[in-house]
Chains A and B, each alone.
Chain A
Amino acid sequence: DTAVSQTPKYLVTQMGNDKSIKCEQNLGHDTMYWYKQDSKKFLKIMFSYNNKELIINETVPNRFSPKSPDKAHLNLHINSLELGDSAVYFCASSQVSRGEAFFGQGTRLTVV
């Protein structure tokens, strides 16, 4: 039974398109995150939600909009995709905002 699941695993799309990545956790955690891992494998936080409330919004273009319909879900919508958005996006959750993070398998986004 997967703890943190995100879909899709792979996403190839053209520049200018709008796409969404979904994430669900069944661990009962209060906090969820989106991270971006670039080609150099550097993992950088994008957003953090605690009980559906946005608590961290790093310097991310406003083309990226997270949505948390409930504390078990945190989706990421990206408008007007650009080549530089190509990366692996990871969803994660933790019991407290600074506790152990459980990661999903990642979504490899390729913008062509």
Chain B
Amino acid sequence: TQLLEQSPQFLSIQEGENLTVYCNSSSVFSSLQWYRQEPGEGPVLLVTVVTGGEVKKLKRLTFQFGDARKDSSLHITADKKDNTGIYLCAGDTSGSRLTFGEGTQLTVNP
């Protein structure tokens, strides 16, 4: 079984703070996706990274795929309350499935 480990599992910060969420595996993925899940909703895709070393930006979110395509990070700058939610990474594995990490529950306090 290919596992994705996310850290931290829980994070509570104040508005304006920066944070980084990590997603690590011992397996190589052909691509990796990041989703955000708001309370009472299903996960929604934020970005897909495909190339080792790739960096993508989405407003205040910066996503990086590791050179070896085994890990990824999500950095959020000057966080705002509307970023509260669960952040999930998902790796594209063989066998026609997405394997999800355990998720990072982020709470941004005013």
Interface, chain A (partner B; CB < 8 A): 4, 31, 35, 40-45, 48, 50, 55-56, 90, 92, 97-98, 100-106
Q: Which of B1-54 contact A (CB under 8 A)?
A: 30-31, 33, 35, 37, 40-45, 48
Chain A residues, CB < 8 A from B98: 45, 98, 101
Q: Which of B30, B40, B44 contacts A103 (CB 8 A)?
A: B44
Q: Which of A40, A45, A56, A101 contacts B45 (CB 8 A)?
A: A101
Given contacts A4-B42, A103-B44, list 4 more A-B pairs with CB under 8 A.
A43-B100, A45-B100, A48-B97, A98-B92
Given the known inter-chain contacts A43-B103, A44-B100, please indicate yes or no for A56 contacting B95, CB distance below 8 A.
yes
Chain A residues, CB < 8 A from B40: 105-106
Chain A residues, CB < 8 A from B48: 100
Given the known inter-chain contacts A56-B95, A101-B98, please indicate yes or no for A41 contacting B42, CB distance below 8 A.
no
Q: How far is the CA of A48 from the CA of B93 in the complex (A)?
A: 14
Q: How far is the CA of A40 from the CA of B10 in the complex (A)?
A: 11
Q: Which of B84-108 contact A (CB under 8 A)?
A: 86, 88, 90, 92-93, 95-100, 102-103, 105
Interface residues of chain B: helix, strand, loop or mixed (majority): strand
- Contact indicator A105/B96 (Cβ below 8 Å): no
Chain A residues, CB < 8 A from B90: 101
Q: How far is the CA of A3 from the CA of B91 in the complex (A)?
A: 23
Q: How far is the CA of A97 from the CA of B41 in the complex (A)?
A: 22
- Contact indicator B95/A43 (Cβ below 8 Å): no
Q: How far is the CA of A104 from the CA of B90 in the complex (A)?
A: 17
Q: Which residue of A lies closest to B41 (CB)?
A: A105
Chain B residues, CB < 8 A from A90: 42-43
Q: Which residue of B lies closest to A45 (CB)?
A: B97
- Contact indicator B97/A100 (Cβ below 8 Å): no
Chain A residues, CB < 8 A from B33: 100-101
